[in-house]
Amino acid sequence: MKRQAMAAAMGAMAVFGTPKKAQAYDIDCAIMLCMAGGFPPSAVCARAYSTMIRRITPWPSLPPFGVCTFADVPIELGGPGGEGELDTNLPEYEWLNRTHVIWFTVRSYKKDDDGRVWGWSIKSCDRENRICTYLQRVNGADRPWFDTFVSQSGQEIDLPTRQRSGEYSLRSIMIEYGDYEGNMDHSEWFSY
């Protein structure tokens, strides 16, 4: 009887007394750290990448990440215990300043007897999606857009292709980012 009571008590403690598994970082920190490593394969980085993409795909788009607060890192593990923000203006975070949100829009219309006319633009915005620069802006072209373009960071990036014949309007978005070693990469295009 004593053994059964002891087993029941231990079982109750195991079920109700188990501490929650703490997250190492909040999601914004995970995005930054995974981006710095080029989004290596892991469950944390896969979640960080999908969260980043989910933020940029609605209209209007949100910035790909917010402020990294290290809010979930306890003081005993070197974190602030829920206080403070990561200062991304420090030199060791220069790679983060190479993050750009790239917008691609295209439209086409029939112009009387001249045939089809195309217009497209490629716009690159900072990581907060506030300061934007047009990399290309074409109106009244007699052919569709080029296959590639060169980004502000010097990458040659393939532009999206038409999904269906007869498609004359397209809006797509992607993220260009660099890792801590200076290597540049980018996400895939997301059209909506």
Backbone angles phi and psi of 116, in degrees to 5: -80, 140
Tokens in use for 70? 């290290």
pLDDT attached to residue 111? 74
pLDDT attached to residue 73? 52
pLDDT attached to residue 134? 96
pLDDT attached to residue 87? 67
- Cut 0.75: pTM above it: no
Who contacts 132 (Cβ-Cβ below 8 Å, separation ≥6)?
A: 103, 123, 124, 125, 126
**What's CA 139's distance to the chain center, in Å?**
29
Maximum CA pair distance of the chain? 96
Classify 158 as helix, strand or coil: strand
Residues of the chain below pLDDT 50 = 1-24, 77-78
What ranges do the domains of the chain cover?
Answer: 23-97, 98-191
Q: Which of 129, 125, 122 is nearest to 104 (CA)?
A: 122
pLDDT attached to residue 167? 54
Residue range 54-89, pLDDT digits in tens: 888 777 777 887 777 655 555 554 455 555 566 677
The residue to which tokens 């047009």 are assigned: 134
